[in-house]
Amino acid sequence: MSLAPVSFGEILSDLRQFKKLSIEDLAQGICSSEEIIEYEKGKKYPTLDQLYELAERLNVEVSHFIDYASSSTFNYVTAVFLLIKKYKRERDYQAIYGIIEQERDNPLFKQRISMQFMLWHEGICEYYLHQNEDDAVKLLYQAIDLTNPDRSRLTENEIEILTSLAIIKLEEKDFIFASNMFEDALDNLDSLPHILDPKVKLRILYGLSQTLAAMNNYEDSLKYSNLGINYCINNEILYLFGEFYFQSGESYIKIGEIDIGTEYINRAKSIFLLQNDEKFAKLVGIELDKLLEKC
């Protein structure tokens, strides 16, 4: 692998091709196709607003452009990160852990941002593979401390790690701790000038809604699940859309709004069917029957 410096244009081109986007797809609504060609050739640079929008469309943080531009490791490091994210979506923690072990001594992963990403996912694996809450929490805090030892004014990456901590506390039924962490993550996220990945906010809203429901605080749970529904609609994304409708439906039923709750849960079922997720659609139907039996 060559160690020659990589330009912004090369990084932009590599990311676009990796995401299988045409020049026209990447440019749409941001700039002209001709400008993308000039950016990739290094003839000119985008404005800051355009850079944020390009990063969002490519699903990377702006800081990644800057960090990776200083090294030709960009292609390899980014490919590893994307593979880990893929396995995380599939909940294949064994595969993630295998990658982390394989790259542990690789100097390409010694930059702070790269180290943080690997520590974050090692912490997740420590919990889900080895059921070791203490070590998982230590690793996740260690990941945040790499870039923010004061743990204040968190970046989007750091907020994602804090959200992972909150999810672990939710799994451990430490509901007060989890709700405080989710609220802290939400406050930090809302203070950012830009949110590059709307899924980050949705994960926080969903986790907070789940936690409050587990504490039998259905009114507040409903507040956050309905915020999640509106955020999905406003951002035109289906991520957690069905889950939010189910969570709201459950809360409505718990506070005695049976008809509204049933309607929301049926909407959740329809969303899962549209997404070809018959397993979740069936589970939603079963849960609705159970909820109605208790009314």
Distance CA 243, CA 266 (A): 11
- Picking from 114, 45, 46, the residue whose alpha carbon sits closest to that of residue 84 is 114
**Averaged over 5-23, what is the pLDDT?**
80
In this predicted structure, the answer to whether residue 276 has a pLDDT above a threshold of 50 is yes
277 or 72, greater pLDDT: 277
Structure confidence by residue, pLDDT tens digits, 60-78: 766 666 555 544 445 677 7
Chain segment 26-64, per-residue pLDDT in tens: 999 999 999 999 888 878 778 767 887 888 888 776 666
Q: What is the dihedral of CA 108, 114, 120, 125, to 10 degrees?
A: -30
The per-residue pLDDT for range 69-120, each reduced to its tens digit, is 544 445 677 778 888 998 898 899 999 999 999 888 887 788 888 999 999 9
pTM value is 0.74
| Helices 278-293, 258-274: inter-axial angle, 10-degree rounding | 170
Contact by Cβ (8 Å): 122, 161:
no
